[in-house]
Amino acid sequence: MCAARPRIDQAWGFGLKRELLRSLLHESPLPKEARAVLVLLKTIFKDRPTADVRIDQSLCTPETSLRRAILALQQHALLGKQLLCVGDDDLVSVSIGLLLRSLFTDSRHSAFRIDVVDMDERILHFIRNIAQEYDLPIKCRRLDLREAWPEELFGQYDAIFTDPPYTLQGMSLFLSRGIQALKKEKGLPVFLSFAHKSPPFMLAMQREFVRMGLTVSANFPRFNVYEGAEMIANQSQMYILRTTDQTEPEHKGAFTGALYTGEVKQTLRTYHCKQCSRNIYVGKHGEFATIELLKNAGCPRCASDTFELAARYSVSE
């Protein structure tokens, strides 16, 4: 045991509080140090930027943000790992940083890194300030995920967190960017928060997981609680997905389709069947109300469930 400790210290960081780690790993009542982290998070969260509903932001509670961090620890996705938050209006990076800081007697020597990509400069500015104030190993970068993913971010991370727009397109795009960022290894975790949806939508989600070569390792209904998100009943589920040797992103280049809920509801889109080339209209006044309904039904001509967006139009009443 003693001989192993230097190797553990080198891999995970110096001064690891092993009793606290065991308590958190075995889902004991929240220990004193973790309760102190939650108190600090509640203070920090009071000053975070307000939600921008135009881009489907829903702000989770401090308790939920910390629960996500503890879940990642229990899934062995934190210590000695490189993490990426694909969007972080829920400040998961801050919760992870503070939790990990509490696990070490000298956090400056702990071997972990958290990166954040987001298009909202307000969120990034807030996280940068918190990271500087509390000496957290967080780096922020402004990116619009609709643009092609920068090659320098390919294959860099051991795990990702994302809480994407609650559309099928949004989920698929955010997962695709996360997959591009993950190392090319089997079994890497993807922590996906997503609204509870209808059975047809959930079936379409499962199709997307399979299409991208992801397996569902676990699902926790009503795991996430949000402030003022009545549209999703203030709750959402947590998926833990895992990579396989067949994992590939659905979207690799720039994304030009409707992404956010408001965009999707107010557009008519033409999808091109990749197998038989038929064009199908989806959206307001279209043949199918949503892309998930089209994918579940299949192409009316050939029954294929693989399509690409050909055009989209804004539609008034």
| pLDDT tens-digit readout, 169-194 | 899 999 999 999 999 999 999 999 99
- In this structure, is residue 256 part of a structural domain? no
Verify that 18 and 140 share a domain, yes or no: yes
3-state secondary structure of 47: coil
Q: What is the mean pLDDT of the segment spanning 299-315?
A: 85
Query: Does 280 lie in the same domain as 206?
Result: no
Same domain, 174 and 303: no
Backbone phi, then psi, for 99, in 5-degree steps? -65, -45
In-domain check, residue 133: yes
Q: 4-18, 84-98, 178-192, 266-280: lowest mean pLDDT where?
A: 4-18
Range of the domain at 272: 266-314
What contacts 195, CB < 8 A, 6 or more positions away? 166, 232, 236, 237
The strand order across the sheet containing 279-283 reads: 279-283, 267-273, 307-314
**Which domain CATH number covers 140?**
3.40.50.150
Q: Are both 295 and 174 inside the same structural domain? A: no
pLDDT at 107: 57
Rg of the chain in Å (alpha carbons): 20
Closest CA relative to residue 40, chosen from 163, 133, 123: 133
B/e letters for 221-233, b = 16+ CB within 10 Å, e = fewer, are eebbebeebeebe
In-domain check, residue 189: yes
Is the same domain home to 225 and 275?
Answer: no
Report if residue 28 sits inside a domain: yes
Of the candidates 270, 292, 77, the one whose C-alpha atom is nearest the C-alpha of residue 168 is: 292
- Of 99-103, 105-109, 214-218, 232-236, least confident by mean pLDDT is 105-109
Q: Is residue 17 part of a domain?
A: yes
Are 43 and 137 in the same domain?
A: yes
Q: What is the pLDDT of residue 13?
A: 53
Residue 269 clears pLDDT 90, i.e. is over it: no
191 and 71, same structural domain? yes
Same domain, 108 and 168: yes
Q: Which of 119-133, 251-265, 300-314 comes out lowest in average pLDDT?
A: 251-265
Domain check: are 239 and 292 in the same one? no
At 205, give phi and psi (nearest 5°): -60, -45
Structural domain includes residue 177: yes
Q: What angle do CA 203, 206, 209 make, to 5 degrees?
A: 155
Q: Is residue 174 part of a domain?
A: yes
pLDDT digits (tens, 9 = 90+) for 218-233: 999 999 999 865 455 6
Q: Which stretches of the chain are assigned E, i.e. beta strand?
A: 82-86, 113-118, 138-142, 159-162, 189-194, 214-225, 235-243, 267-273, 279-283, 307-314
What digits encode the pLDDT tens for the residues 30-79? 888 889 999 999 999 999 998 777 777 788 999 999 999 999 999 999 88
Distance separating alpha carbons of residues 28 and 25, to the nearest angstrom: 8
Which of 210, 243, 276 is the last residue before a domain boundary? 243
Q: Is the pLDDT of residue 11 over 90?
A: no
Which pLDDT score, from 0 to 100, does residue 289 have? 77
Identify whether residues 284 and 135 lie together within a single domain.
no
Same domain membership, residue 215 and residue 136: yes
The reply to whether 170 and 305 lie within a common domain is: no
Note the pTM of the prediction, 2 decimals. Answer: 0.82
**Does the structure show a pLDDT above 70 at 281?**
yes
Number of domains composing the chain: 2
pLDDT at 1: 44
Rounded mean pLDDT of the chain? Answer: 87
Give a yes or no: residue 135 inside a domain. yes
Residue after which a domain boundary falls, among 208, 228, 243: 243
